[in-house]
Amino acid sequence: RVFRENIQGVPSALPSPDDYFLLRWLRAWSFDLQKSEDVLRKHMEFRKQQDLASILAWQPSEVVRLYNANGICGQDGEGSPVWYHIMGSLDPKDLLLSASKQELLSDSFQSCELLLRECELQSQKLGKKAEKITAVFDLEGLGLRHLWKPGIELLQEFFSALEANYPEILKNLIVVNAPKLFTVTFNLTRRKVVILGDNWKQELTKFISPDQLPVEFGRTMTDPDGNPKCLTKINYGGEVPKSYYLYNQVRLQYEHTVSVGCGSSLRVENEILFPGCVWQFASDGGDIGFGVFLKTKMGERQRAREMTEVLPSQCYNAHLVPEDGSITCLGVSSYVLRFDNTYSLVPSKRISYTVEVLLPDQTFMEKMEKF
């Protein structure tokens, strides 16, 4: 009750603000009320940044739909949804050359929201709370190509976001077909990771009922047409055709091209009104940091730490595939889009970018279609 009183105004904006939801945050932070409140409020900012309120209606690009190897299929022995990741057949490098990091993260966050919805549906069906999920990672075929640095960084970023924004949602992470380099590739919380041996198909039934396990994973579930892989639920990935590459397709017309020296940054300041602005950028010479900040003092130059962080600054592999995004603004405000190369010890990066402030009579969809 004390925790609920402390966060007045926050639960009403959440999809399922019941006691079970609040307990997840308290358990994750050892019932530290202040810490739990802080991370929950940060989660609300995360929901706005990632537009989670409407993400279930969002549609990823064709290449992500076809080649991002995962899917939600069946329930475990306690009725909780099961999330499969077919890591060995994932083509991380070509996928990141064909879709932006943000789109791939959005696809994963959409899956998280779908899993939460499935938990709610199962709770109603079973008459008891299903508040956690089981994840199955199939690592057959995992090799050195999966150790590509941008791919590893993306995976680490997702797991960090999962821990910060979906606490206590993971019941077990079950690993099958694990090669020796698994311990090098993943650094996960050991208490939730179950690594099955050669007899993994039989051992899986300790966690998932046979009628809920696809034939591909050793038991009886199939698609309506008899497909043993349950392709209507699980995407098995595969090699991404080079025709999907965005690097040469999208790197077309940008309004500005500038050089950002090593150890320096570039500030793009705009006065933005409702509904907001959209941007797109690409880099030459390596990755580039990018963040969006709201000025707290109009007419004065402020350092990043003196402004309000709207989109947290992080590195983007924009030398591989262009990045794009948008912000919503309810009133007239001054925003700074900051390209950060202060961490770099190598020569300068060449940045090409377009920033377009939307007018009140233009919709986001109309403008985003241009990107």
pLDDT tens digits along 139-179: 998 876 777 777 888 888 898 899 899 999 999 999 999 87
Give the pTM.
Answer: 0.71
When the candidates are 3.40.525.10, 3.40.50.720, 3.30.230.10, 3.40.640.10, the CATH number that belongs to 55-246 is 3.40.525.10
- Please give the CATH number for the structural domain made up of 256-318+334-354: 2.60.120.680
pLDDT given for residue 273 in this prediction: 61
Q: What pLDDT, in 10s, does the model give residues 126-147?
A: 999 898 999 999 999 887 677 7
With H, G, I as helix, E, B as strand and everything else as coil, classify residue 298: coil
State both tokens at 288: 């580039």
Average pLDDT over residues 241-245: 88
**CA separation, residue 93 to residues 90, 237, 297, 321 (Å):** 9, 13, 42, 11
What is the topology classification, in CATH, of domain 1-49? Answer: Helicase, Ruva Protein; domain 3 (1.10.8)
pLDDT given for residue 202 in this prediction: 94
Does 11 score more than 70 pLDDT?
A: no
C-alpha–C-alpha distance, residues 78 and 81, integer Å: 9
What is the residue extent of each domain of the chain? 1-49, 55-246, 256-318+334-354
Q: What pLDDT, in 10s, does the model give residues 22-73?
A: 888 889 888 888 898 899 989 988 998 899 999 999 999 999 999 999 999 9
